[in-house]
């Protein structure tokens, strides 16, 4: 189906691009906190907790949207409604791009460690 359905091909390319950006962003944590700021190896991994808090917030948003999704499926005679999953994806897309910009902008050592850590929570 990847080669026969154009929408699946487009979604696969988009998802690959977004995951690539996310993995590059995760790789930059060691550079920002270990090399740039000079933190020890253990301390430089603690900002990943900010990312974990962001994932928990995204999970909460997804669970909150589940009630709306069930209602949309019930109104569509039990058939899936992909458009009903779009609102949390829009929120995530805005926070993801804003978080990447914010993390990059505040990654210099002249800024507090808290700024890129909170920015990582929005990824």
Domain containing 39 equals 6-121
What pLDDT, in 10s, does the model give residues 51-106? Answer: 999 999 999 999 999 999 999 999 999 898 888 888 898 999 999 999 999 999 99
**Four-residue CA torsion sign, 103, 104, 107, 112:** negative
Q: Are 111 and 20 in contact (CB under 8 A)?
A: no
What stretches of the chain adopt beta strand conformation (E)?
none
Alpha-carbon distance values, 33 to 11, 87, 99, 109, 110 (Å): 33, 34, 17, 9, 12
In a domain, 34, yes or no: yes
In a domain? residue 1: no
pTM here is 0.80
Q: Count up the domains in the chain and report the number.
A: 1
């Amino acid at each position: 189906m990847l080669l026969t359905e154009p929408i699946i091909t487009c979604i696969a390319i988009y998802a690959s691009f977004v995951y690539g950006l996310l993995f590059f962003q995760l790789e930059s944590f060691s550079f920002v906190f270990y090399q740039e700021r000079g933190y020890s190896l253990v301390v430089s991994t603690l900002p990943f907790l900010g990312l974990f808090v962001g994932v928990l917030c995204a999970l909460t948003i997804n669970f909150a949207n589940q009630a709306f999704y069930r209602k949309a499926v019930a109104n569509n005679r039990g058939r899936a409604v992909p458009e009903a999953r779009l609102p949390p994806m829009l929120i995530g897309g805005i926070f993801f791009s804003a978080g990447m910009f914010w993390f990059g902008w505040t990654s210099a050592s002249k800024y507090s460690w808290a700024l890129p850590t909170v920015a990582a929570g929005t990824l």
